[in-house]
Amino acid sequence: MTKITRREILWALPAAGLLRAQQTSPEITRVKIDAEQVIASVNPMIFGQFIEHLGRCIYGGIYEEGSTLADAQGFRKDVQAAVERLRPPVLRWPGGNFVSSYHWEDGVGPKDQRPRRFDTAWYAVESNRFGANEFIEYCRRISAEPYICVNLGTGTIEEAANWVEYSNSSENTHYANLRRKHGYAQPHGVKYWGLGNEIYGVWQAGHKSAEDYAKVALEAAKMMKWIDPSIRLVACGAGDPQWNATVLEALGAVVDYISVHIYTGSDDYYETLASVKRAEQLLRETDSVIEIATAKLRGRRPGGVGFPLGEKRVEIAFDEWNIWYRKRDGRDRAVKNKLEEPYNLRDALWTASMLHLFQRWGDKVTMANMAQMVNVIAPIMTSPAGLYLQPNFFPLELYRAHSGDKVVHCWTEGPSYRSAAVGTVDYLDICATRAGGRLAIGVVNRHRERPLAARFEIGGARAGRAGKVFSINGPSPDAANSFDNPNQVGIASRDSGDFGAQFSFEFPAHSITLLEITV
């Protein structure tokens, strides 16, 4: 396994590194789909989102007290409507780096009595007017499961357990009664809890070695599950297989997931699109470590912890992922609107290919959270007067609405290019999913200039001729939306009667297409 050091921001190589290979495969891509051969289940949790106390993600993003666009509780109605189009099934909060110096009790109770704190992660003043209960309320509004990450940097294991008691306990105890005092008679029932964020990194408050983190996380996990044995825990993973091995050998019996993060991108069009294969490499390495750790734990799981130990294999939570390289101003004290990354159509193609990757790995990647949801490296951008949707919003919306819940076998052969970083990359990235009698074929044409044709053969079920075509495109790969021009990139749809057991289709250059066929 390749050791990936420092933070797993996997930058693509510069433009000079792109090697254009001879076309050794046919110009027309051949595609064979067996609609009955299921290779993975797609967990809808891969369409999750993430919000952090950073820049204008929360304040000025989803939450803006006093705004004419906000409701009486301070939630931006226009932002909520956009988020509801994405239908995120899970929402991660409060960080991110922010969580490693965040103490949750600062953010509960009467808002005017909450302390203002200096956030050492992003060099900003935190008002704490958006806290645990506001987060739960927002999740309920958008029908998302809350996923809370606890502070294992500067926080204590008791603090983590107290948060579980406050959120989930129905007992007559201090923190359950404190929640009731704050106006919430019934437990919140938070199912997903993260055991710290990126604790391996020196940029993290209270960062630790793998051994030290594993000791603290195990004790936190025990105390949290002693309060509520039903919760599902996410261990802090890294891009370093050695870190993951140490953590899983200590925690594999008590956690349900291990997290991985990836940020990528450069000005090089083809290398950025190729970097999805770097994400796949990270998944393969993590999966191998899980396999080895599972074998080592089998038969010697720790006893006496007082709650049922997990008997199934640890799953992967890809709980931060995105393109991020243009705006690196997160710790610039003079910048208030931090990390407001502009995205273009090329970035939307990358996003769609990442969704294909998560779908293909559906039995092992069972949660993913794009970082972040609003304003900060985000698909939704706001101003005091309104919002616009960046190009990477649209593949999230399209695939959430039209992908199936089963990945079916899809074989392809066609033209490709050569990446200096990852080797051969297909120009057409194709993934097929099915839900009942509906087959959804997602296709990303990575070619910058040329439309590419594909010849499809659909087996295993009778494919009807009628269907729908959804497409995301723009005048160039650099096309982007803005407040002045919000509709450069979007989703177009049309009916088609040209499908069947065999059919051909031409995919425009730099495009995302989803073919929806009855089978």
Does residue 4 lie within any of the structural domains? no
Q: How far apart are CA 453 and CA 456, in angstroms?
A: 10
The pLDDT-based confidence of 20 (bands split at 50, 70, 90) is very low
Average pLDDT over residues 449-476: 95
pLDDT single digits (tens) 415-454: 999 999 999 999 999 999 999 999 999 999 999 999 999 9
CATH code assigned at 21 = 2.60.40.1180
Does residue 1 lie within any of the structural domains? no
Encoded amino acid at 493, one letter: S
322 and 199 share one domain: yes
> pLDDT value at position 16?
28
28 and 175 share one domain: no
172 and 150 share one domain: yes
> pLDDT value at position 26?
52
> Distance of alpha carbon 512 from its chain centroid, rounded?
19
Average pLDDT over residues 181-203: 98
> pLDDT value at position 131?
99
Q: How far apart are CA 120 and CA 96, in angstroms?
A: 12
Strand 117-119 versus strand 124-126 pairing type: antiparallel
363 and 224 share one domain: yes
> pLDDT value at position 446?
98
Does the pLDDT of residue 5 top 50, yes or no?
no
Q: Which residues contact 156 (CB under 8 A, 6 or more apart)?
A: none
67 and 166 share one domain: yes
Distances (CA, A) of 130 to 9, 106, 139, 396, 495: 29, 10, 13, 26, 44
Residue 179: DSSP 8-state: H
> pLDDT value at position 401?
98
Encoded amino acid at 132, one letter: A
371 and 422 share one domain: no
| Secondary structure (3-state) at 380 | strand
pTM value? 0.94
The pLDDT-based confidence of 332 (bands split at 50, 70, 90) is confident
Does residue 464 lie within any of the structural domains? yes
Does the pLDDT of residue 475 top 50, yes or no?
yes
Task: Enumerate the active-site residues.
Answer: 198, 320
> pLDDT value at position 27?
86
Average pLDDT over residues 18-23: 34
Does the pLDDT of residue 308 top 90, yes or no?
no
- Extract the tokens encoding 318: 């890809």
Among the candidates 402, 427, 461, a domain finishes at 402
345 and 396 share one domain: yes
- Extract the tokens encoding 237: 């993973």
230 and 142 share one domain: yes
- For residues 425 and 416, is the Cβ–Cβ distance under 8 A? yes
Does residue 8 lie within any of the structural domains? no
Q: How many independent structural domains does the chain possess?
A: 2
- For residues 448 and 270, is the Cβ–Cβ distance under 8 A? yes
DSSP string of 447-461, one letter each residue: -SS--EEEEEEEESS
pLDDT single digits (tens) 205-219: 999 999 999 999 999
Among the candidates 372, 402, 432, a domain finishes at 402
Q: How far apart are CA 493 and CA 398, in angstroms?
A: 11
The pLDDT-based confidence of 6 (bands split at 50, 70, 90) is very low
End-to-end CA distance of the chain: 41
275 and 303 share one domain: yes
Q: How far apart are CA 455 and CA 433, in angstroms?
A: 18
Does residue 351 lie within any of the structural domains? yes
Look at residues 402, 345, 408, 341 and name the one whose alpha carbon lies nearest to residue 370: 341
Q: What percent of the chain is modeled with pLDDT above 70? A: 93
Does residue 97 lie within any of the structural domains? yes
CATH code assigned at 74 = 3.20.20.80
> pLDDT value at position 17?
28
Does the pLDDT of residue 312 top 60, yes or no?
yes
28 and 53 share one domain: no
The domain containing residue 383 runs over which residues? 44-402
> CB neighbours (10 Å) of residue 134?
21
207 and 263 share one domain: yes
Does residue 2 lie within any of the structural domains? no
Among the candidates 386, 402, 418, a domain finishes at 402
DSSP lists the bridge partners of residue 261 as 320
Does residue 7 lie within any of the structural domains? no
pLDDT single digits (tens) 43-71: 999 999 999 999 999 999 999 999 999 99
> pLDDT value at position 252?
92
Rg (CA), the chain: 23
388 and 410 share one domain: no
